[in-house]
Structure 1
Amino acid sequence: MAAALMPHAAPVLALPPLALYVHIPWCVRKCPYCDFNSHAAGPELPEEAYVDALLADLDLDLHLAENRPLVSIFFGGGTPSLFSAQALDRLLQGVQRRLKFTDDIEITLEANPGTFEQVKFRDYRALGINRLSIGVQSFQDAKLKALGRIHDAGDAQRAAEMARQAGFDNFNLDLMHGLPEQTLDDALHDLECAIALAPTHLSWYQLTMEPNTQFWNQPPTLPDDEALWAIQQAGQALLAGAGFAQYETSAYAQPGRRARHNLNYWTFGDFLGIGAGAHAKLSSRDGRIQRLWKTRTPRDYLNPDKPFRAGERELSREELPFEFLMNALRLTAGVSAPSFSERTGLALDTLAEARAAAEARGLLEADPQRLQATPRGQLFLNDLLQYFLP
């Protein structure tokens, strides 16, 4: 059911917070389940050329920042921890010459246990990088082998320990469940190992088969729906008991440690995106909201004869309800109802018909002050979002 639109949209006068996403597209090797824009690294990474390109890319988009400071920076990939501290230092200094940082800026680096070196991580921390996201996926060697990972369980444990020794008091562990031939005991063992390492944040999400991956073409044997449900229920209870509050579909945090960069996405904040295949979402003071994306392959991105920007489009008024809610409704507590108008420039009444229908189905809370999925709506989020399609 499409949301009925009011005749006029209120202008967006106050711009949302601004973040920066930096994509570093190289990995040691491509994992069979991965559909991200990642590419196997050669013997040498073109660090200098890539940093030059990132800063030139940022220069072209700088006017879209509208003089806002950065509230967060996220180095994603790929495997950003393949880059040297010297390269990241030059990049961060270049970014800071162009954009102000808030005093409490969150700067996150994704890292894989197989690329950990303690001296490198101390250097990263000295640069001002203050949060790590470590791609553990499992603490069982057989499961890691099935996933095509280059590290083993011991590497995963040492990575978390080295992160803390390097001065990181805020780090996330990435874990998957629903792995090939995984049992409930297997899944809970992984969570127990992760909790024992005392991270401040856990990303715990189900393995899915994505098109254009090796697993899509040669699918492994995965747990059935009944087993997946048992894993989900028991795992959430274990995490809650250990003090990890679920605040998003697959995100769990200790008090005060929610991922601020990701929260900016989910509350429809703005973000610049630089690097091969990076995406961005930017608002302007006249109420326009646009998405843009960058050239996907590293070869083309580094080619001076090709543009950094691969495409852009302005979101229509008809698209905005869905675009806003597909992010906001991932949050277990939802968002305040007025934030819809603040972020989209549309009157809240725009959602009235679709809200009433979703509430009648028990998918959306009947709370005039909030936009929040019910527990049933969280389980059937795609069904809930159908009500807000243009």
Structure 2
Amino acid sequence: MTRDSSASSLIVGGAASSPRAPLPTLPPLALYIHIPWCVRKCPYCDFNSHTASPVLPEQEYVDALLADLDQDLHAVYGREIISIFFGGGTPSLFSAEALGRLLEGVKQRIPFAHDIEITLEANPGTFEQEKFVAYRKLGINRLSIGIQSFQQEKLKALGRIHNGDEAVRAAGMARQAGFDNFNLDLMHGLPDQSLDDALSDLRQAIELNPTHISWYQLTLEPNTVFWNQPPVLPEDDTLWDIQEAGQALLAEHGYAQYEVSAYAQAGRPARHNLNYWSFGDFIGIGAGAHGKLSHPDGRIVRTWKTRLPKDYLNPVKSFQAGEKALTNDEMPFEFLMNALRLTAGVESRLYPERTGLSLESLAEGRAAAEQSGLLQVEPSRLAATERGQLFLNDLLQQFLN
């Protein structure tokens, strides 16, 4: 494992770069908290989630999360966090009391930005909706509700345990609980889904007036039930029609696409998402959580935590399963695979600021990507063209050795 690569050089498209410099400023810092339990594992899900037992080990897990955070504090001393994201799994299975103790413990350890965004993933089930008011009182100010579809046959095919009526009610209850900022997760390209089916789901979501919609295509991932027993998915032509019509519908109703699968009302993109895609830093705590931390000397280290909940809770096992310092030759791909997901890309100056490498180190790859029509010809920005967004993997290949 490379602990310090500050003296190495980078070859991109055959051109050597200067050594990595110390970072002029550290990027914004976020916190990701993984809660790995679900009522039932969905057949398409490849996240680190596990079927919950009747009684969750809330107190033990909160203790472990805070102890895990304690071990990361040395790397972020003196910094504040701009966002917290509770992901899973289904974090809303935890009680407000447990999450309150956790948030209080985090705040005692790391200062919160005055306008911190705190997001909790939740499912639409009635049991969880009843907790929304309590969550809002804790300072959680954004919900991300996993709808996926409003149509019963599609929900059944996806293995979801809520129904369409509960999905509709969840948005109303979020607003009544004081959440003026919430996301709806919606999928398309579902088994046997037609264009009309997909647009019907999207219209229903828009009617609920969330500030943010995550609208993404179902993909079959390894190590899932759907991978081993694939359902019948729409033909490519139908998927293309759904994508085009759906994007037009979202734009018509004021939802601007700012990332491959993220659409937001004006001023409402997810701060946590933006930090992630712009190569910001984040601490990751919880079973299987990943983190990325920059250091003033130029080192950028990715970390990952012990994956299985039983091992994570085992006091004789380490919370951290591994870490890797990014080398100079990995940096262009690592930075651009995030930044180019943003439809507007990022300002070019962000590359040297966040990586310690010069813009010149991207020169040959950048020229090739521009010539192929995948990258915008814009010196002050690194941004994919519309074609580049469709063929992002091909674009990123231009920045591999």
- Superposition TM-score tier, normalisation by shorter sequence: over 0.9
Moved more, 5-14 or 201-210: 5-14
SS of the residue corresponding to residue 318 of structure 1 reads helix
Within 1, Cα distance between the matches of 2:394 and 2:216?
19
1:81 to 61, 70, 92: 92
How far 1:76 sits from its partner (Å)?
0.1
One-letter amino acid of the structure 2 residue matched with residue 89 of structure 1? G
How far 1:67 sits from its partner (Å)?
1.3
Q: Is the 8 A contact 1:81 1:115 kept in 2?
A: no
1:192 to 197, 203, 213: 203
Question: Measured at CA, do residues 112 and 5 of structure 1 come closer, stay the same or move farther in structure 2, by a change above 3 Å?
Answer: farther
Q: 1:235 aligns to what? A: 246
Q: Does 1:7 align with 2:15?
A: no
Q: Does 1:289 align with 2:300?
A: yes
Q: 1:23 aligns to what? A: 34
Q: 1:364 aligns to what? A: 375
Q: 2:116 aligns to what? A: 105
1:319 to 310, 322, 330: 330
Unaligned runs of 5+ in 1: none
Alignment of 1:1-390 (within 5 A): 2-3=12-13, 4-114=15-125, 116-390=127-401
SS of the residue corresponding to residue 291 of structure 1 reads strand
How far 1:194 sits from its partner (Å)?
0.2
- Post-superposition Cα deviations, 1:120-175, rounded to whole Å, max 9, x if no partner, equal 11010000000000000001000000000000101100111110010000000000
- Post-superposition Cα deviations, 1:188-207, rounded to whole Å, max 9, x if no partner, equal 00000000000000000000
Within 1, Cα distance between the matches of 2:167 and 2:221?
25
Unaligned runs of 5+ in 2: 1-10
- Post-superposition Cα deviations, 1:261-316, rounded to whole Å, max 9, x if no partner, equal 01000000000000000000000000000000000000000000100000001000
> RMSD across aligned C-alpha pairs, in angstroms?
1.0
How far 1:389 sits from its partner (Å)?
1.7
SS of the residue corresponding to residue 226 of structure 1 reads helix
SS of the residue corresponding to residue 179 of structure 2 reads coil
Q: Percent identity?
A: 73
SS of the residue corresponding to residue 175 of structure 2 reads helix
Q: Is the 8 A contact 2:343 2:384 kept in 1?
A: yes
Q: Is the 8 A contact 1:116 1:159 kept in 2?
A: no
- Post-superposition Cα deviations, 1:64-121, rounded to whole Å, max 9, x if no partner, equal 1131100000000000000000000000000000000000000000001126444411
Q: Would you say how many aligned residue pairs link Structure 1 and Structure 2?
A: 390
SS of the residue corresponding to residue 320 of structure 1 reads helix
- Post-superposition Cα deviations, 1:2-24, rounded to whole Å, max 9, x if no partner, equal 44331322221310000000000
One-letter amino acid of the structure 2 residue matched with residue 234 of structure 1? A
Within 2, Cα distance between the matches of 1:5 and 1:125?
52
Within 2, Cα distance between the matches of 1:373 and 1:200?
25
One-letter amino acid of the structure 1 residue matched with residue 144 of structure 2? S
The normalised TM-score by structure 2 is 0.96
SS of the residue corresponding to residue 397 of structure 2 reads helix
- Post-superposition Cα deviations, 1:38-74, rounded to whole Å, max 9, x if no partner, equal 0000010000000000000000001111311000000
Q: Is the 8 A contact 2:18 2:361 kept in 1?
A: no
Within 1, Cα distance between the matches of 2:131 and 2:186?
23
One-letter amino acid of the structure 2 residue matched with residue 133 of structure 1? S
Within 1, Cα distance between the matches of 2:256 and 2:209?
14
Within 2, Cα distance between the matches of 1:272 and 1:292?
9
Q: Is the 8 A contact 1:81 1:116 kept in 2?
A: no
Question: Measured at CA, do residues 386 and 115 of structure 1 come closer, stay the same or move farther in structure 2, by a change above 3 Å?
Answer: farther
Within 2, Cα distance between the matches of 1:301 and 1:262?
26
Q: 2:5 aligns to what? A: none
Within 2, Cα distance between the matches of 1:245 and 1:58?
35
